[in-house]
Amino acid sequence: MSPSTPALPDPTALLVDAPEVRAALQRAGWSSSALDELLGPSYRGHLDRGELSPLLRRTRGSGELARLVRALVVGGEVAPGTLPDSWVRDGRAVTRLQAVPHDGLDVTVPHDPGSAAAQVHPEQVLGVGAASMTLASATPRAVVGSTLDLGTGAGIQALLAEDHSGSVVATDRNARAVAYTRLAAALNGTGLDARQGDLLDPVRGETFDLVVSNPPFVVSPGRRYTYRDAGYQGDDVCSRLVQEIPTVLAPGGHAVLLVNWLHLEGQDGDERVLSWFEGTGCDGWVVQRELAAPEDYVTAWLRDTDETAFDDLYDEWVDALRGVEAVAFGIVAMHRRVDGLAPQVVLDVVDQPTAATWGEEVTAHFARRVLLEGDLLEARLRLRPDVRLHQVATPTADGWMADNQLLQQEAGLRWSGGVDPYGATLLAACDGTQKLGNLLAVLASSAGLSQADAAEQVLPVLRHLVAKGFLS
Ligand SMILES: C[S@@+](CC[C@H](N)C(=O)[O-])C[C@H]1O[C@@H](n2cnc3c(N)ncnc32)[C@H](O)[C@@H]1O
């Protein structure tokens, strides 16, 4: 840390007056939509880029919301009487707040001042970023008894889980993050059990129905920032989490975590990440979202966090990735089965844009295994209600000639794929009432095929459509 690195506030000292701040926020009508209206819809971009002038201008008013937002969101001067004394130092609020909308919820997240691109402290507790929302979007939101948020930071995943969990435990190695999570709970009027400790140490011997984790997954040399660098070799922190999280997963429970994994020279990267699941007793689903060349990976992280020291750190980091062909990023989901089926792991490359939330796909993915391992001809399959059939037709002398049909999911992972007219007809008939074998018999006779030939041709396609969730 250089001498100019800003001193950090003590979030524990803010806790005592948190109820007073919560009451002020409520009185003022604090919400993410109120902030959008006050600051303008592009205000998050201004904040990220440190362009405060437009935001200071919009919060010149004397209303309570404008004064609170100016102090706690923009970081401008605190007008007298706006905040308790414990929250103010040298005329500025000592912490910052974010109003985060997600899937019908609106949570308030306190975090340290300072953006990632500016110089930050090694123990900085960042606010909610893109990776936080990637995990939130992939988290199943079915009601569960207990949830663990491992590496809670400022508490965003724990706050969102609170809405659908009987109890939530939030853990972090950084004592300041634990204090921030307690502060977040107080500001949101919820109860959270926040504990300090390394990885699974604070919860050994306990089990949870849902485990979520946005861990310090970045593959970097050394341990520069607690929120980003685990200090492990390569991607070892991610493989360790995949191996150990099952020890705290209740039977039937699910885990969702963000990971990086390395594609090493001379090794198959997919096989490498799939091998992490061996011996865990869990089904696994790896959803690959990105694959970056080492130089691009380093550049992206330096821009995100160490912009001021880019040139000093670039060579050291790229050298540390010697032998790495690419770095993959994705979401790992796990499921502890209770039906005795042998664990299975699947990797999907998802490079299409997904729906804003797709956590329900995680539970559905594992549930479909029962179908795929059973006799599909006996199943009464149902077409997903959000599937649409798109037709492309070419003009001919005889009018429009349909030459291409595309199935498209409108929700979830938004898979798409071509289908022939027979397949399209079969899918439309899948309304959950008829066994697939019966539907196939009708299709076979209309196509002039034997039922066995029709099954041989169609079943692999149907299996694929079940695997991707078009049918269930
Ligand atoms: C990328 S941040 C995620 C914060 C938050 N959960 C979110 O989604 O925005 C990773 C968090 O893991 C914590 N952490 C780092 N090393 C850890 C360790 N060994 N055990 C537990 N938590 C750790 C960091 O302090 C940081 O809060």
172, 180, 196, 203: residue to mutate for ligand 1 pocket, most atoms within 8 A of CB: 172
Going by C-alpha positions, the residue among 465, 270, 242 that lies closest to residue 336 is: 242
Over residues 77-84, the mean pLDDT reads 96
Q: Residues lining ligand 1, CB < 6 A?
A: 128, 132, 135, 151-153, 156-157, 171-174, 177, 198-199, 214-216, 226-227, 230
Tell which atom from ligand 1 comes closest to the C-alpha of 213: 6
Over residues 9-13, the mean pLDDT reads 94
Residue 227 alpha carbon to ligand 1 centre in Å: 5
Statement: residue 187 has pLDDT above 50: yes
pLDDT (tens digit per residue) in 224-272: 888 889 889 999 999 999 999 999 999 999 999 999 999 999 999 999 9
Tell which atom from ligand 1 comes closest to the C-alpha of 149: 6
Residue with CA closest to ligand 1 atom 12: 151
pLDDT (tens digit per residue) in 364-409: 999 998 899 999 999 999 999 999 999 999 999 999 988 889 999 9
What's the pLDDT score for residue 35?
A: 98
The length of the chain in residues reads 472
Residue 6 alpha carbon to ligand 1 centre in Å: 21
Q: From CA 24, how far away is CA 20, in angstroms rounded?
A: 6
Confidence at 344, pLDDT banded by 50, 70, 90 = very high
Q: Tokens 């699910």: give the residue.
A: 254
Q: From CA 210, how far away is CA 252, in angstroms rounded?
A: 9
Looking at the DSSP bridge assignments, the partners of residue 327 are 262, 292
181, 227, 237, 258: residue to mutate for ligand 1 pocket, most atoms within 8 A of CB: 227
pLDDT (tens digit per residue) in 62-75: 899 999 999 999 99
Tell which atom from ligand 1 comes closest to the C-alpha of 135: 8
Residue with CA closest to ligand 1 atom 25: 227
Helix axes 436-447, 421-429, angle to 10 degrees: 150
Task: Check: CB of residue 282 under 8 Å from CB of residue 332.
Answer: no
Statement: residue 286 has pLDDT above 50: yes
Statement: residue 439 has pLDDT above 70: yes
pLDDT cut 70: percent of the chain above it: 98
In the chain, which residues fall in CATH 3.40.50.150? Answer: 94-368
What's the pLDDT score for residue 5?
A: 52
Q: What does pLDDT average to over the chain?
A: 94
In this structure, CATH architecture of domain 94-368: 3-Layer(aba) Sandwich (3.40)
Confidence at 6, pLDDT banded by 50, 70, 90 = low
**What is the DSSP secondary-structure string of 28-55?**
HT--HHHHHHHH-TTHHHHHHTT--HHH
123, 200, 225, 226: residue to mutate for ligand 1 pocket, most atoms within 8 A of CB: 226
Q: What is the pTM of this model?
A: 0.95
174, 218, 257: residue to mutate for ligand 1 pocket, most atoms within 8 A of CB: 174
Residue 441 tokens read as: 């018999």
Residue 151 alpha carbon to ligand 1 centre in Å: 3
pLDDT (tens digit per residue) in 304-343: 877 777 888 899 999 999 999 999 999 999 999 888 888 9
What's the pLDDT score for residue 3?
A: 40
Alpha helices in 346-396 (DSSP H): 360-373
What's the pLDDT score for residue 85?
A: 97
**What is the DSSP secondary-structure string of 55-109?**
HHHHT-S-SHHHHHHIIIII--BPPTTSS-GGGEETTEESSEEEEEEETTEEEEE
Confidence at 109, pLDDT banded by 50, 70, 90 = very high
Residue with CA closest to ligand 1 atom 19: 198
